Chains A and B, each alone.
Chain A
């Protein structure tokens, strides 16, 4: 009996993915080339396509929004990676089986806790009217300063990144044979050198995955900068929301979305390529 070609097994998923992912993205891209009349809602129908929505973005201030988003996201992702790797290593190598199960259960349950709840908890505790205000002021930290607000936004991102990245790195570290570390130390390498030359390179793929998950989440974060940013530290996602929901300028919102998508894809490609080259080299 002839077996059905394997493509038939992938076709349903492919169709669903195309309909619910590529089609809307295509529609968004088309919308970004449509003109907008102020005071109206959405694009002008039946008007010729235009590049005006993209030309509007060629300003230093818009670049500043992107740089701010990338800067805070990158900072949170890298710091999150350091914390997560340390936590994942401790859980995997140092904890008893019972302790490991409790720790994993704790991180999994954190993932179930709403981002909104965690963000407001941070705002209430570390905000300008929170219980730590007096302590911050005694250290010369003004809770309404821009620098502090940026740190608070990064802390909000970390709240989500650390559990996610820790759970991602657990299996990576588990798959590294601990005897290799022992062997390095036996040959005279101090602990930190053994980690740098043995553990970290062997965890490269897991670290890359954890970083990309964290960065993807951070760069597209909306609620965290909206609440913790106090309207002064805005991410690109907040601009997109303003365009679509507040001003009804869909074409401009679509153009910003397209640019954000292109920048994100480029960063993922370059990062993956760099890591793979290092691995091959």
Chain B
């Protein structure tokens, strides 16, 4: 048996320790010591890709990315469970989740002092809390609208009535009761002469659509929708922008954002900055950087949501979301989001009892 002398053991320890230290220094992925680490909840796919590219263009903040799992509301129970010590510095979301967080008083109010680039965002769109303070930082605008794959859809769709065409049997991917704030159901209500305050025409049409056999899949996650359309399982959908953009990258998609009688809904996506976190200044600085004109343009190119910063450049691929005031009045419907959000529970349960059995 080979014996190890004390001199040999000491030499080996020094050598091993030196190698470990060198490896740690050389292999360290961390940026310069000045960067602060924050934890952010983002959407997956192209959205988080865009945000990572934005992160790479600065060195003040290093972001620990956590992805949304399911709808925007899925993260809220996790925050509630850990409140008043949330684990996240900001949560990306939209009107739906922002209003929920505002009601729970979780959000840091923002101003042009703390987020200077807010001065270049249309103020009308900024979500406010009960005191009238700005409660979230919008970064981009997306659409929820009807679209179809031109190469696989058996018919051209020009109105809501076309969704009931028997040639579309099994070809529609319709959002489930927890997706897209059930705004496609509001679209049916509008078509039937109602609105978000009078949804009976919408429910009647939804039952008719469910019974028609045209709904091939009910999307319960964003991935369901994009996978269903890209695989060719379905050809038509009424869904939101990033998923439709993902499909449009590989297939010809007809987007009915400017089709009379087929309502388009616009939503803002943005940042909700949580209270009681240690790196508030760094978070606000990062968010401000994200909504700068250059980063807004980058986000629009990669994630497929039109920039809200008026100085940012909107890519040609998002022309379908650029509206003149006349087009906005004609094609875009702005619901009362307070009504929509407060009805999500009731609508979801009504879906389970009246629509799900028909599918």
A interface, CB within 8 angstroms of B: 36, 38-42, 56, 59, 61-62, 64-65, 127-129, 142, 144, 146, 226, 230-232, 234, 238-239, 242, 244-250, 252
Q: Does B73 contact A (CB under 8 A)?
A: yes
Shortest beta-carbon distance from B339 to chain A in Å: 10
Quick check: B219 and A231 within 8 Å, CB to CB? yes
Q: Does B261 contact A (CB under 8 A)?
A: no
Quick check: A231 and B224 within 8 Å, CB to CB? yes
Quick check: B345 and A36 within 8 Å, CB to CB? yes
- Give the residues in chain A near B233, CB-CB below 8 Å: 127-129, 144
Of residues 293 to 325 in B, which have CB atoms within 8 Å of A's CB atoms? Answer: none
Q: Which of B169, B218, B233 has the largest number of chain A CB atoms within 10 A?
A: B233
Q: Which of B155-163, B170-178, B197-205 contacts A (4 or more CB under 8 A)?
A: B170-178
User: Mind listing 13 A-B residue pairs with CB under 8 Å?
Assistant: A38-B342, A38-B344, A39-B342, A42-B80, A61-B356, A230-B216, A231-B224, A242-B177, A244-B77, A245-B70, A245-B74, A246-B73, A246-B348
Complex Cα–Cα for A41 and B98 (A): 12
Q: Does B12 contact A (CB under 8 A)?
A: no
Of residues 143 to 202 in B, which have CB atoms within 8 Å of A's CB atoms? Answer: 169-170, 176-178
Quick check: B170 and A144 within 8 Å, CB to CB? yes
Complex Cα–Cα for A245 and B99 (A): 16
- Give the residues in chain A near B215, CB-CB below 8 Å: 232
Quick check: A234 and B73 within 8 Å, CB to CB? no
Complex Cα–Cα for A128 and B228 (A): 9
Known: A38-B346, A39-B99, A232-B215. A246 touches B178 (CB 8 A): yes
Q: Does B82 contact A (CB under 8 A)?
A: no
Quick check: B80 and A247 within 8 Å, CB to CB? no
Q: Which of B71, B99, B353, B359 contacts A61 (CB 8 A)?
A: B353
Known: A129-B231, A231-B218. A247 touches B352 (CB 8 A): no
Quick check: B345 and A247 within 8 Å, CB to CB? yes
Quick check: A246 and B216 within 8 Å, CB to CB? no
- Smallest Cβ-Cβ distance to A249: which chain B residue: B345
Complex Cα–Cα for A66 and B79 (A): 31
- Smallest Cβ-Cβ distance to B73: which chain A residue: A246
Quick check: A38 and B345 within 8 Å, CB to CB? yes
B residues contacting the other copy or chain, number (CB 8 A): 43
Of residues 318 to 359 in B, which have CB atoms within 8 Å of A's CB atoms? Answer: 341-346, 348-349, 352-354, 356-357, 359
Q: Which of B103, B349, B352 contacts A39 (CB 8 A)?
A: B103
Complex Cα–Cα for A249 and B104 (A): 14
Quick check: B76 and A248 within 8 Å, CB to CB? yes
Quick check: B345 and A62 within 8 Å, CB to CB? no
Of residues 217 to 258 in B, which have CB atoms within 8 Å of A's CB atoms? Answer: 217-220, 224, 231-234
Known: A242-B348, A247-B73, A249-B345. A129 touches B177 (CB 8 A): no
Complex Cα–Cα for A146 and B342 (A): 32
Complex Cα–Cα for A40 and B105 (A): 11
Closest 7 A-B residue pairs measured CB to CB?
A: A231-B218, A246-B178, A144-B170, A61-B353, A129-B231, A232-B359, A245-B74
Complex Cα–Cα for A244 and B71 (A): 11
Shortest beta-carbon distance from A84 to chain B in Å: 31
Known: A61-B353, A61-B357. A42 touches B77 (CB 8 A): yes
Of residues 48 to 104 in B, which have CB atoms within 8 Å of A's CB atoms? Answer: 69-71, 73-74, 76-77, 79-80, 99-100, 103-104
Complex Cα–Cα for A36 and B346 (A): 11
Quick check: A247 and B232 within 8 Å, CB to CB? no
Complex Cα–Cα for A250 and B81 (A): 12
Complex Cα–Cα for A246 and B175 (A): 13
Given contacts A129-B233, A144-B233, 7 further A-B contacts (CB under 8 A): A38-B346, A62-B353, A128-B234, A144-B170, A231-B359, A247-B348, A248-B100
Quick check: A246 and B217 within 8 Å, CB to CB? no
Quick check: B71 and A246 within 8 Å, CB to CB? yes
Quick check: A230 and B73 within 8 Å, CB to CB? no
Quick check: B100 and A230 within 8 Å, CB to CB? no
Known: A247-B344, A247-B348. A41 touches B218 (CB 8 A): no
Quick check: B346 and A41 within 8 Å, CB to CB? no
Shortest beta-carbon distance from A37 to chain B in Å: 9
Complex Cα–Cα for A33 and B170 (A): 40
Known: A246-B73, A246-B178. A128 touches B216 (CB 8 A): yes
Complex Cα–Cα for A180 and B337 (A): 73
Known: A41-B77, A232-B359. A246 touches B70 (CB 8 A): yes
Q: Which of A65, A226, A247 has the largest number of chain B CB atoms within 10 A?
A: A247
Shortest beta-carbon distance from B226 to chain A in Å: 13
- Give the residues in chain B near A146, CB-CB below 8 Å: 359
- Give the residues in chain B near A128, CB-CB below 8 Å: 170, 216-217, 233-234
Complex Cα–Cα for A231 and B71 (A): 14
- Smallest Cβ-Cβ distance to A120: which chain B residue: B227
Quick check: B77 and A40 within 8 Å, CB to CB? no
- Give the residues in chain A near B357, CB-CB below 8 Å: 61, 64
Q: Which of B79, B349, B354 has the largest number of chain A CB atoms within 10 A?
A: B349
- Give the residues in chain B near A38, CB-CB below 8 Å: 342-346
